[in-house]
Structure 1
Amino acid sequence: MLLIVGLFCVLFPRHILSSSLEHDGSVSIRLLHALNRESEPIFTDRGNITIHSLRVGQAIVDQKPLPEEEKLKIQILARNNDFYRIKAIVVANDGSERSFISTSKACMLAESELDDKLIVSLDYMGRVVGITSVIASKAACEGADVPLEKLKEFTTTVYVRHTEAGAIPDTASFVQKLEREKEAQEKGEVKDNRSFLAKYWMYILPVVVVMVISSATNPEAQGGGGGGGRGGQ
């Protein structure tokens, strides 16, 4: 009984451990972006996101209008078919930090006029395990040259994605079934009609394995008698 319960705790921890989503929680996300074309990104501040309720997914996005310099850099990235890189630093309630980097096509971002989506993925304990930037309004770049006046500021929508919990197995019924079968066997009500090999294969198999290994590692044992006869001649 205890063994079965312990095994259940190992295989299905999400149903044993209390989830932080049961008590809800909040996180702060600092957004940075890289607007340089070099392979090594140089991140600068973009804004902040505060999710007051992880369960409900309520988020407040605070992003300032872009300066002319950053508008021009995004326009250059889009014209050269480069990537726009975003870095999200998640600060949990306990003060711990985790960083996530996501990329998207700069031309798609520019053509959407800086309308992007941020998907915040949570595990079953309510911890942030990923943040992805998505340009949902564009499936591909159309090659349009977006003027700077249309790159005023980001309009970001935040989605909180929860991990779906699997079905909870009916362990109580399973344990009761095992106990009934055990009682029936002890009373002799259940007859074991299995063959000899099916009953005792776990004892026979090790002996067979040892014999096979022994014969494979000592091939001279089979031909030892014949070699001695030739030596006598």
Structure 2
Amino acid sequence: MLMKGYCLCLLLQFGRIFGGNIEYDGWANINLQHALIASENPVFTERGNVTIQSLQTGLSTVYQKPLSQTDRVKLRDLAANNEFYQLKSIVTASDGSESVFISSVKACMLAESDLNDILSVSLDYSGKVVTVTLAVASTATCEGAVVPIDKLKEFSTSVYVRHPENGPVPDTITYTQKLEKQAKEKGEVKDNRSFLAKYWMYIVPVVIIMVLSSAANPDGAATGNNAAR
């Protein structure tokens, strides 16, 4: 019984973890930095800030300053050379913990989309940010079109907070029955039932056959009684 209760509690715990909704609400702040020069050791500079006021609802505020003329030229050159644009996201949670995520997209796709991008913030069941990824909002294809530098003024970013997807509820009854069956097969569980409780399904048919045979041949029974006298 102790083992059975332990397994049941463990499965219920897994069901809670994979159930699909975060347990509590909170906030998170994301500092955005980007690298505008292709390098094995990129140098990140300030891009902006995202504040998620509610992790449950995904309500957020985005602040990003316009790009300087120098940064526009760097981004245009990055796109022309078919390099990657890299974004560093520094996440500060409501409990004070900090995590860093780096993602990238083709700079030419970002330039052709007129700097319209998407920031996806994924949470685990406890509401902790586990990934921050960057994507391009439009269907840019990097066909080599020259993007006027005037279109690279400021980022227009949409933020999406993604919760864990609903998982299947574990079938605890079937699983515990399976564990009991395996334990019996290994001899780990002693069957303390009485003889009748164990083998009634074999005894009852024999009794029924005997009763039916006696009822079908009453004369034979009477002859046997007379002979005995």
From the CA coordinates, give the structure whose radius of gyration is larger: 2
> How has the CA–CA distance of structure 1 residues 146 and 24 changed in structure 2, closer, same or farther, with 3 Å as cutoff?
same
Q: Which of residues 186, 189, 199 is equivalent to 2:193? A: 186
- Provide the residue aligned with 2:97 in structure 1: 96
Instruction: Measure the CA separation in 2 of the matches of 1:35 and 1:141.
Output: 18
Q: Secondary structure at the match of 1:3?
A: helix
Residue by residue over 1:134-154, the C-alpha shift from the partner in whole angstroms, topping out at 9 and shown as x without a partner, is 013125212111011101100
> How has the CA–CA distance of structure 1 residues 4 and 141 changed in structure 2, closer, same or farther, with 3 Å as cutoff?
farther
CA contact (8 A) 1:19 1:125 kept: no
Shift of 1:10: 4.2
CA contact (8 A) 1:84 1:103 kept: yes
- Provide the residue aligned with 2:166 in structure 1: 165
Q: Write the letter of the residue equivalent to 1:186.
A: R
Residues 142-161 of structure 1: pairs in structure 2 closer than 5 A: 142-161=143-162
Shift of 1:20: 8.9
Cα-Cα RMSD: 2.9
Instruction: Measure the CA separation in 2 of the matches of 1:43 and 1:164.
Output: 33
Instruction: Measure the CA separation in 2 of the matches of 1:91 and 1:151.
Output: 29
Q: Secondary structure at the match of 1:53?
A: coil
Instruction: Measure the CA separation in 1 of the matches of 2:21 and 2:166.
Output: 14
What TM-score results when the alignment is normalised by the length of structure 2? 0.73
Q: Secondary structure at the match of 1:186?
A: coil
Instruction: Measure the CA separation in 1 of the matches of 2:47 and 2:104.
Output: 15
Q: Secondary structure at the match of 2:153?
A: coil
Ranked by relative contact order (alpha carbons within 8 Å, sequence separation 6 or more), the top structure is: 2
Shift of 1:11: 5.1
User: Does 1:6 pair with 2:13?
Assistant: no
> How has the CA–CA distance of structure 1 residues 54 and 82 changed in structure 2, closer, same or farther, with 3 Å as cutoff?
same
Residues 189-208 of structure 1: pairs in structure 2 closer than 5 A: 189-190=197-198
Aligned length: 190
- Provide the residue aligned with 1:21 in structure 2: 22
Q: Which ranges of structure 1 fall in alignment gaps of 5 or more residues?
A: 192-233
CA contact (8 A) 2:8 2:176 kept: no
> How has the CA–CA distance of structure 1 residues 125 and 72 changed in structure 2, closer, same or farther, with 3 Å as cutoff?
same
- Provide the residue aligned with 2:131 in structure 1: 130
Shift of 1:168: 2.2
> How has the CA–CA distance of structure 1 residues 61 and 29 changed in structure 2, closer, same or farther, with 3 Å as cutoff?
same
- The percent of aligned pairs where both chains have the same amino acid is 49
- Provide the residue aligned with 2:68 in structure 1: 67
Q: Secondary structure at the match of 1:22?
A: coil
Instruction: Measure the CA separation in 1 of the matches of 2:168 and 2:192.
Output: 32
Residues 72-83 of structure 1: pairs in structure 2 closer than 5 A: 72-83=73-84
